[in-house]
Amino acid sequence: MRHRVAGRPLSRNAAHGRALRRNLIRALVEHEQIRTTKAKALAVRGDADKLISLAKTGMTKRQAAASDVHERRLAAVVLGDKKLVTKLFDEIAPRYAERPGGYTRVLDLEPRKGDNAEMALLQFS
């Protein structure tokens, strides 16, 4: 049974899958676009959108003169780097203040030469 099992396994065990997602999200926030396989891009897309929504929540709290420490700490669990958290909250989230969702997009690229794997470009839209 597959009850209460979220996400795509990507042919990895649970710990390896979590590490892969975390590293891809870090790279996306740092470089604002990443070139990866299509399966990995689709697996990470939702997590990245949720992280931006979290940052937007912190941003609206900041405007209401409340503290956004909780949201920053939640983002730090995923990103693991203070500079990336600052970039997410101060540079990336304000771009999407008026957008209700759909912060990332997946563009198809030509297949990889070695193994003909479907490649994609995951970027902030």
Please answer whether residues 30 and 67 qualify as being in contact, where contact means their C-beta atoms are separated by less than 8 angstroms: no
- Residue-wise pLDDT for 71-80, tens only, equals 999 999 999 9
The residue type found at 61 is K
Between CA 3 and CA 12, with CA 7 as vertex, the angle to 5 degrees is 100
* pLDDT at residue 106, as a whole number: 96
Please answer whether residues 54 and 70 qualify as being in contact, where contact means their C-beta atoms are separated by less than 8 angstroms: no
Q: What structural domains does the chain harbor?
A: 36-124 (3.90.1030.10)
Predicted confidence (pLDDT) at residue 102 exceeds the cutoff of 60: yes
* pLDDT at residue 114, as a whole number: 92
For strand 33-37 and strand 119-124, is the pairing parallel, antiparallel, or unpaired? Answer: antiparallel
* pLDDT at residue 2, as a whole number: 78
Average pLDDT of the residues in 12-34: 94
DSSP per residue over 50-111, as a string? HHHHHHHHHHHHHHTT---HHHHHHHHHHH--HHHHHHIIIIIGGGGTT--S--EEEEE-PP
- The pTM (predicted TM-score) of the whole model is 0.86
Confidence of residue 62 (pLDDT cuts 50, 70, 90): low
